[in-house]
Structure 1
Amino acid sequence: MTTTARPRRRIRPLTAALTSVAGTLGITVALVATGTLSVAQGGGDRGARQLGDPDYGVCRGVDVRCYHDWGNFDTSKGFKVLLYTRTAGPRHANLGPALGTGLNPPVSDANVVQKALLRMGSDNGFQVDYTEDVTQLASAAALFKYNAVIFFSTSRDTLDDAAQTSLRQYIRGGGGFVGVHNAFGTEYNWPWYEGLLGNANFYDHGPAQPGTVRTVNSKDASTKSLPRRWEFSDEWYNLVPAPTRVRVLAEVDETTLARGVKGNYHHPGHGDDHAVAWCQYYDGGRAWLTTLGHDAKAFSTDGSFPGAAEFQKLILGGIESAMGKKPFCT
């Protein structure tokens, strides 16, 4: 007997699925309760509103169906990440002097971020390559050697056309991305990258100052070992747009910022929903993001900088989950 194969059911992108139920109050309440509602949608009573929610034309959000498990990574060979710190604009002091060309050029003690990530990898069983040479990102084949790519305080147009294409193909093939601090001040005019950040971009920041971070999701690999509240000092980025359809992991309590949160370009802050760390699936890949990481002392290990240990646990868990070593965005 001849049978006719049933057509495969096509899974709609998460963006379309969410749009179809956006008018339902019960769904909105559920998203608020699980920390997946956007900051821009205004779950709190104070702060900037209507900060934009564009559709990037890709599957994105917290649904694992947006991930492409296409066999591009053999974890039996161990785990390896690429740290990218090229700056084409302002350069954070914790990056130290600009690096030479090629992969893994010499670093000095002033290259705090690079040395800290090398130590973190050595202590936790994964290899770290680092570069500021855009040609090292020129092909997807080169990037597929890494379980995750880390942008740490890159700035402005730090990628050329070849590197943009490679990063996009790498993410679409199931790659992991970690964006730290001024990764949000990078590639402003590339909508796909803005979506990779969770529909978020740096706008301005208030004074660098101490504040209290709230761990709002304690299930994730990056936050499960953190206290519910912990002290930290940073610039506390204000974002336009602000993240949407992501799993918020940590927020800053704006009421603890003694010098206020109003930015140098007059952003009023995000009120009750000032996210500082979140995660999402995006266009086939994994993306873990944090706006924290301004001060070189955040990598200190002597207890002299409040919150340094918590910050290091946060980004270690983010890196390990983005590269698939630990569960992602739970």
Structure 2
Amino acid sequence: MRRRLSRPNRKPTRTLLGVATTMLAVLACTTVPAGPASAADAPYDVLVFSKTAGFRHDAIPVGIQTIQQLGAANSFTVTATEDANTFNTSNLAQYEAVVFLNTTGDVLNSTQQSAFESYIRGGKGYVGVHSAADTEYDWSFYGNLVGAYFSSHPAIQQANVKVTDRGHAATAHLPQTWTRTDEWYNFRTNPRSTAKVLATLDESSYSGGGMGADHPHVWCKTYEGGRSFYTGAGHTQASYSDSAFRAHLLGGIRYAAGRSKADCRPESGYSTLYNGSTTGWSQAGPGSFSNSDATLTSTGGMGLYWYNAKQFSSYSLKLDWRIPGDDNSGVFIGFPSSTDPQSAIDNGYEIQIDATDTSDRTTGSVYGFKSADLAARDAALNAPGEWNSYELLVEGERLRVYLNGVLVNDFTNTDPVRSLAGYIGIQNHGSGDDASFRNIRIKEIGGTDPNPPTNTTIQAEAFSAQSGVTVVSKASAVGGALMGYLDPGDWAAYNGQNLTGVTSLRARIASGGAGGTLQVRSGSQTGTVLGTATISNTGGWENYAEVSAALSGVPSGTQNLYLTVAGSGSGLYDVDEFTLLRTTPGGSGTGPIVGLAGKCLEIDGGATADGSQAQISTCTGSARQTWTVNGQTLRALGKCLDVNGAGTANGTKIQLWTCTGGAAQNWAPQSDGTLRNPSSGKCLDVSNNSSADGQNVHLWSCTSGAANQKWTLP
């Protein structure tokens, strides 16, 4: 017995080619293998669909051939077609996944769309390659399935792809920075709130990026019972002779077909404990971990590699792990500080990694205390040699274990001697028991939802449908365009928006006209009004202001959102972009507090003396702009945001001060986006409504809709 630690409708301007294409030279598959799966997959069938109603990529023939070659080497057959009539219920039933290979435009009629929707809802898979995102703009189900629609692209050039998740079959083989040449898409919206982003584009490495620091390029998601994988790569013919891209494509197909499991739930707000750097980690007991390619691999033992920089109580811990065969390891939580690995055995809990052991000592079990749900575990587990992911969700003394996104254990500690709070570590069990770990990250949750949706910013011109509105090119607009020439009765729809937790809407507008109101509705353009923003003349069509609307009765989940225009006359106002805001009063988080014109709340000069002035400035991510929401206090530089002298007069200074727990340091986020000091009943305000760097903030009477009183918390 082993004792163990164990922009809308704006398509790219291109010359349209005929459907008939000359087949290029056959790729020499033997010289650029993608690499088979670690274990042979059960055979399955894949449909490759490459119909185009817009620009036609000359890489389609080699793309089809590549997928056929991948199938021949990896247990799946391939049917390639451009006949939309194949999208009927009986025919689709034979395929585990459908690949939309560089499709463009409207390629399916309503009957065919319905059949495909049923197919996905039946638990099947979708793979979108490159211009699959330039397809079916008026079909909301497809837009939600693919995750984001194409907006624009620069010229083909080399760029760096930052691979942020290396536990998925499509990205596990890739380096953290994947440098390659392709056509790089900008998207109308960021899919991060509804999908797991696996890789992003480093816009500093090429010219023409349009999404900023967070530019998703590859992602996966589950949608209405089915699985979806999308890659922005695959424009060029050369892509399909690149072994890394071929393996990337194979991994996406295997995931969509259900042959490789992955946690594709949206993720945000995690802090890295290990992703190549071992700062804060130390070895307890014999053996060690090697550190190469941002991967920790066990050697010898029995020992424990533990993160000694901090203890954790309520949190979500995520990591990726891999064992090559019948090996043994585990993740330990809730143990005290010690250089003796036996302390973790005696005082903490091990979440086991060893699929061959007894039920209370197998993968997903709390070792020696509670077995995993073996049926759920077996359905979620990848074969030896492949990466798996764990989420260990600790809320007080309750632990839930998720394997590749599937709940496999729900355990509550009742032992007064032990606790789930403490340090965390990974086990090196002994010689021959090999285990590797990647991307260890944590989110302290304080009893709140560990994966809350983030605020969502949408370009107003990126609508799904509209009546009466016009897309106007304007250099001063975010993204170079906005929604303009708005008259009473005009409307725009934004399909597939996650409205869970949304409490208000903030919009960037300009008006040289009469102004009016902007109504927020759900379901349809005549649906229930959730809230209304009042818009006044801003002094000209190049003068922008922010308006807000508190929302109520907002339905949860994925919904179709509508903006409708009301007022008198014509040419009332323009809408550049809008943000769906989610606030969590009394919550916790660390990051910037963003206010007027996207500027960040900071302490002047980063000073730490009591009385240092609070102001706004361009966001830099510096310590003086990094705030932690702790109950009703806002903390930076080790001190609290404070109302000078607990004053109540308009214009009272807002400053940094030693935390006292007093009323002058309490801030309550409101549903309209304001931050209110409950003692005075007044709001955090940017003085003079000026967005200049270094503009002071002060206390002022709360004014509904005032942009200089709207704040977004981390």
Q: Name the TM tier (shorter chain).
A: 0.5 to 0.7
Q: Deviations over 1:275-313 (max 9, x none)?
A: 11000000110001111110001111xxxxxxx222111
C-alpha distance in 1 between matches for 2:64 and 2:249: 14
SS at match of 1:271: coil
Who is 2:51 aligned against? Answer: 86
The answer on whether the counterparts of 2:42 and 2:75 sit within 8 Å (CA) in structure 1 is no
C-alpha distance in 1 between matches for 2:89 and 2:152: 33
Unmatched segments (≥5 aa) in structure 1: 1-74, 96-110, 263-268, 301-307
Who is 1:53 aligned against? Answer: none
Q: Which amino acid aligns with 1:179?
A: G
Q: 1:173 to 1:288 in 2, by over 3 A?
A: same
Q: Deviations over 1:243-263 (max 9, x none)?
A: 132100011111111xx125x
Question: How many Å apart are 1:321 and its aligned residue?
Answer: 0.9
SS at match of 1:299: helix
Q: Is 1:285 the equivalent of 2:226?
A: yes
Q: Which amino acid aligns with 1:283?
A: E
The answer on whether the counterparts of 1:144 and 1:170 sit within 8 Å (CA) in structure 2 is yes
Question: How many Å apart are 1:242 and its aligned residue?
Answer: 2.4
More strand as a share of residues: 2
Question: How many Å apart are 1:133 and its aligned residue?
Answer: 0.5
Who is 1:133 aligned against? Answer: 83
C-alpha distance in 2 between matches for 1:120 and 1:182: 21
Question: How many Å apart are 1:76 and its aligned residue?
Answer: 9.5
Aligned length in residues: 224
Normalising to structure 1: TM-score of the pair?
Answer: 0.66
From 69, 85, 96, give the equivalent of 1:147: 96
C-alpha distance in 2 between matches for 1:229 and 1:310: 12
Q: Is 1:250 the equivalent of 2:184?
A: no
From 288, 297, 316, give the equivalent of 2:238: 297
Question: How many Å apart are 1:213 and its aligned residue?
Answer: 0.9
Who is 2:254 aligned against? Answer: 320
Q: Map 1:197-208 onto structure 2 (within 5 A).
A: 197-198=146-147, 200-208=148-156
More helix as a share of residues: 1
Question: How many Å apart are 1:212 and its aligned residue?
Answer: 0.9
The answer on whether the counterparts of 2:41 and 2:75 sit within 8 Å (CA) in structure 1 is no
Question: How many Å apart are 1:141 and its aligned residue?
Answer: 2.1
Question: How many Å apart are 1:161 and its aligned residue?
Answer: 1.7
**Higher RCO (CA < 8 A, seq sep 6+):** 1
C-alpha distance in 2 between matches for 1:119 and 1:256: 32
Q: Deviations over 1:58-107 (max 9, x none)?
A: xxxxxxxxxxxxxxxxx997211000000011101112xxxxxxxxxxxx
Q: Deviations over 1:151-198 (max 9, x none)?
A: 011010011122101110000110100001010010011111110012
Who is 1:261 aligned against? Answer: 208
The answer on whether the counterparts of 1:154 and 1:182 sit within 8 Å (CA) in structure 2 is yes
Q: Which amino acid aligns with 1:82?
A: L
Q: Is 1:161 the equivalent of 2:110?
A: yes
C-alpha distance in 1 between matches for 2:57 and 2:44: 28
C-alpha distance in 1 between matches for 2:249 and 2:64: 14
Who is 1:183 aligned against? Answer: 132
The answer on whether the counterparts of 1:201 and 1:242 sit within 8 Å (CA) in structure 2 is no
C-alpha distance in 2 between matches for 1:310 and 1:135: 34
SS at match of 2:213: helix
SS at match of 1:159: coil
The answer on whether the counterparts of 1:79 and 1:325 sit within 8 Å (CA) in structure 2 is no
From 166, 169, 181, give the equivalent of 1:218: 166
The answer on whether the counterparts of 2:129 and 2:230 sit within 8 Å (CA) in structure 1 is yes
C-alpha distance in 2 between matches for 1:292 and 1:239: 13
Q: Which amino acid aligns with 1:197?
A: V
Q: 1:216 to 1:129 in 2, by over 3 A?
A: same
Q: Deviations over 1:212-235 (max 9, x none)?
A: 111100111111111111111111
Question: How many Å apart are 1:241 and its aligned residue?
Answer: 2.1
Q: Is 1:124 the equivalent of 2:70?
A: no
Q: Which amino acid aligns with 1:230?
A: W
Q: Which amino acid aligns with 1:227?
A: P
Q: Which amino acid aligns with 1:116?
A: T
Normalising to structure 2: TM-score of the pair?
Answer: 0.31
Larger radius of gyration: 2
C-alpha distance in 2 between matches for 1:186 and 1:136: 18
The answer on whether the counterparts of 2:136 and 2:142 sit within 8 Å (CA) in structure 1 is yes
Q: Deviations over 1:110-166 (max 9, x none)?
A: x211111111111111111110001111x2221111000000110100111221011
Q: Percent identity?
A: 38
